[in-house]
Each structure stands twice: as structure tokens, then as C-alpha cells.
Structure 1
């Protein structure tokens, strides 16, 4: 009798974001969202200066690579971005979307879109490089 194959075990570790300025991104993620630098390093194979930033259990790996192309304009707008295959964004839960929006706007965040639907509400922020990050307020089931 064949033994059952178990699914591999894993947990979320981090999301990766390419940015034009590592120092600028560290400042933006720190000032707007409260991340701190966990460590900095260089990846020779990619020619990338890297910072792992952290807020609680959430990590982002920020990459600065000389000569990298900027984010295409369509990738900066949530509905247009869905029309291109690939990774879209990471999303994080917030308790109160309006309070969250007031805080991040006061810290200079660029709000790309606010969604209010019967299934829930969310907003998309653009980081300092235009990358989209979603914040979701769950609706009661």
C-alpha cells in the first residue's frame, strides 16, 4: 500500500520590492509604515544592494540595482495592473481603514485607490517607487 504524500510545510517569510533608491525606500517604509532595518547586505549575483526591513512578523526585502528600469506606468494603477500577468501586490489587514488612511496620508503616503464594496473595503498605497501595497479592512462574515 502506497503511503500518502504530505504537503510541504512552509510559512510566509518576506515580500521583495525593487526600488530606485535603497536609502529613500528605507526612509519611506520607516516614516509611512513604521518598518525598521533588520539588516543590510549585497547580493553579488544580482548586483543588488539590499535591506531586509521588518515590522513585527512582516518583512520586506528592498533591492536597489544600478540601471534597473522604472516601474511601467500601467503597473502604478491597480485596475490597469491586473491586465498584466505576474505578481500584483501584497495585502495587509487593518482594523479601521479610515483611521489608517488618515495616518498614512498625514505621513505623506500616495493613495492610489480606495475600494468600498459590499465584501469589504481596502486601499492601495504607492511606495516611493510606485509599487502597490494593499491594506484591507475585513467585513464581518
Structure 2
């Protein structure tokens, strides 16, 4: 009977192990512009895996950024891209996600669209959103579709 319990314990322990994190090569930026809202997602296509999304209603000039697994980045948040800075309010959601908004016609968003790097600081917590140069055209197209 103890052999049966040992085998059952091993099977249970194996099934509780976390699945390995997806390889970074699987992550990409995808622009969904064929419906409202317009969404630019850092994702593994055809899965529910998301790192971040930018979305807007066409013509609204307001980008809503959602960061996943961004605990601690809440409250008044300083955004910086290039030499430009802005302050915005970030709000925590379920499962460690954080949401904030930024106008697409703001100098910070313009610098972000050019350089592909947006840093966010709230208190002692800092997070940087990076969009590789190969995907910057998608970010600029997102801003174009969002701008009013």
C-alpha cells in the first residue's frame, strides 16, 4: 500500500509543477486594426498569453495600456520616453495587471513611437515597455488609427 501512495504522490507532484515559461522567441507584437477597439498586443499568437496591450477607440487620441504581471506599479505614475515625461494614474486590476492611459498626441507617446521604449515609475516600482525596431511601424500605425 505504501508503494501505491508513493506513486500517487509522485504523480500528483508532477502534475502540480508549473508549466515552463514560453520561450522569448515565441512573443511578438501584433496589431489588430480591423475592428474597434484597435489593439496592439505583445503576445504569443493563438494563445491567451499576453505581456501587454495598447488599445484605443479609433479617433479618440487616448491609448489605454494594460501591463500583465506588473504588481506594485499603481498610483501616480511617471512616464518617460526620450526627453519627455508625463504623469498619469495607474490602477491595479485582477491577477497583477495594471492599467493606465496616455494621449497619443502627447510628446511622451511621440518619443515612445520613435524610440520604442517607455519607462513607468510609481514609487519604488519601475517597469519599461520595449518595442523592438522591427515592430515600431505597428506602434506608429496604432497611433495613427487612434488619433482624432
Q: TM-score, normalised by structure 1?
A: 0.26
Larger Rg: 2
Instruction: Report which of the two has the higher share of helix.
Output: 2
